[in-house]
Amino acid sequence: MALSLPAACDPNLADVRTGESASAPASRPAMVLAATILASSLAFVDGSVVNVALPAIGRDLAGAAADLQWVVNAYLLPLSALLLLGGGAGDRFGRRRLLVAGIALFAAASCLCAFAQGLPTLLLGRVLQGVGAAMLMPNSLAVLGTAFAGEARGRAIGTWAAAGAMAGALGPLLGGWLVDAVGWRTIFLINLPIAVAAIWMILRHVPETAETDRPALDWTGGLLATAALGALTWGLTIRSAGEGGGAALAAATLLLAAFVAVEWRRGEKAMMPLALFTSRGFVGLSLLTLLLYGALGGLLVLLPYVLIQQGGYSAFQAGAALLPFPLAIGIASRAMGRLAARTGPRLPLAAGPLIVAAGFALALRIDGGGGSYWSEVLPCILVISLGMAGAVAPLTTAVLGSVDAHHAGTASGFNSAVARTGGMIATALLGAALAARGEALISSFHAAALVAAGAALAASASALLLPAGRQ
């Protein structure tokens, strides 16, 4: 999943985690806001721009279907597993320090991707990009939490989220144009001037903040989470290609069990305190997030691939085809947020995924045979967008209301990681579709759309675990 939007709970990480220990507001908060937007745009753009370049990368580097899956998941794996650890490291060692280090690593990894002469080098660069994103994303938000106070903080985080949505929307469009006009390598080179500008602004305008009395980082938990997700992704990728994968899935189960044991032993000092899962609402929301964002992530990878390979779209046209998605969510989310405030999150979180499922059903009308974009592709995208708009804001509210205030920051960070994990799992299951051509590709796409519709229906059912009424 290369999500083109900030995951549901991202905008609340800084507000919750830094609210009690925030330093005095920065002397030039507008510059701090601009710097953090530049920094986080690296992750938002790279989370969406690669999708439209997959066919070109596959042709140039002779990549098979499993290789194309890993071009996406090599980035999502460390980002999903290390997001909480990256935020904790910034809290302990300095948020500005981790933010700058994450941007620098992301830029260096982008160079490695741009000049890769083979898939192993490209995949290594994507892994390092994911590590850099796991460092810069939570700390860009934490910096905002210390630079602003009161209502200004909420406005700043809202601006940050809107800018992220815009960056995610324009990413496939710009990336598609670059792929067609210059080549796929340029989608990584555009990160360099953004990174340089962000680092310069941060060093000039962002003061350092840290909490040296925080508990030691849960390195063991972070490594076990990464290894477990890696084995799971590897096993599902192999299995989706019809080549077994049982050993990798068994290893993933053992590693996950070891992770749970370590987190249980560490208690409140754990990266993922297991006490959160005593809340039925939190469990239901985590399941809803995994299923809904998994379905969405699979679509955002497979749809542009189908449009390019079977529909004759250029990379730019495929990027433009997805543009209504983030725009519609951005326009409708505020109204949906107001509705959720009146009714409570349970109703919109049940209805939103139902609408998303209807949108995936409309995807069955896409046959890649030269049909009209306006009659085949656009209705599917608009209906899915409407459903996601109904879920994004209420999901944020519900996650924060499902746990006590002490765990709110960790819960929102975990929910963001779960959203990315869902997309990663979905991408790992697309092997047969990415390997198919012609009518077989369309049949695989339709099968994937039906599975995604089922996942969205299951996500809607998960909302029933929430208490009725306002939270």
The verdict on 183 and 226 lying in the same domain is no
Per-residue pLDDT, averaged over 168-180, amounts to 86
The verdict on 67 and 164 lying in the same domain is yes
**Domain count across the chain:** 2
Q: How confident is the model at residue 470 (pLDDT cuts 50, 70, 90)?
A: low
Q: How far apart are the first and last CA of the chain?
A: 30
The verdict on 95 and 153 lying in the same domain is yes
Tens-digit pLDDT profile for residues 194-223: 999 999 999 988 888 766 666 778 889 889
Q: What is the pLDDT of residue 44?
A: 79
Asked whether residue 88 is domain-assigned, the answer is yes
Look up the domain containing 159 and give its range: 10-217+271-465
The verdict on 141 and 251 lying in the same domain is no
Asked whether residue 1 is domain-assigned, the answer is no
Tens-digit pLDDT profile for residues 23-73: 445 557 888 888 888 998 888 787 778 889 999 999 999 888 888 899 999
DSSP 3-state assignment of 384? helix
Q: What is the pLDDT of residue 313?
A: 92
The verdict on 115 and 188 lying in the same domain is yes
What CATH number did the domain enclosing 378 receive?
1.20.1250.20
Q: How confident is the model at residue 295 (pLDDT cuts 50, 70, 90)?
A: very high
H or E segment and range at residue 415: helix 408-428
Answer yes or no: is pLDDT of 19 > 50.
no
Domain boundary, last residue among 203, 237, 270: 270
The verdict on 293 and 263 lying in the same domain is no
Tell me which of 171 and 114 has the higher pLDDT.
Answer: 114
Domain boundary, last residue among 250, 270, 290: 270
Question: b or e along 122-136 (b: 16 or more beta carbons within 10 Å of the residue's beta carbon)?
Answer: bbebbbbbbbbbbbb
Q: How confident is the model at residue 281 (pLDDT cuts 50, 70, 90)?
A: confident
Asked whether residue 282 is domain-assigned, the answer is yes
Asked whether residue 355 is domain-assigned, the answer is yes
CA–CA gap between residue 308 and residue 265 (Å, rounded) = 50
Domain boundary, last residue among 231, 247, 270: 270
Tens-digit pLDDT profile for residues 238-277: 888 777 778 899 999 999 999 999 999 988 888 888 888 8
Answer yes or no: is pLDDT of 430 > 50.
yes
The verdict on 332 and 230 lying in the same domain is no
Q: What is the pLDDT of residue 188?
A: 94
Answer yes or no: is pLDDT of 4 > 80.
no
Q: What is the pLDDT of residue 212?
A: 65
The verdict on 409 and 456 lying in the same domain is yes
Per-residue pLDDT, averaged over 65-94, amounts to 87
CA–CA gap between residue 468 and residue 446 (Å, rounded) = 35
**Nearest CA among 312, 300, 308 for reference residue 448:** 300
pTM attached to this predicted model: 0.84
The verdict on 56 and 188 lying in the same domain is yes
Average pLDDT of every residue of the chain: 84
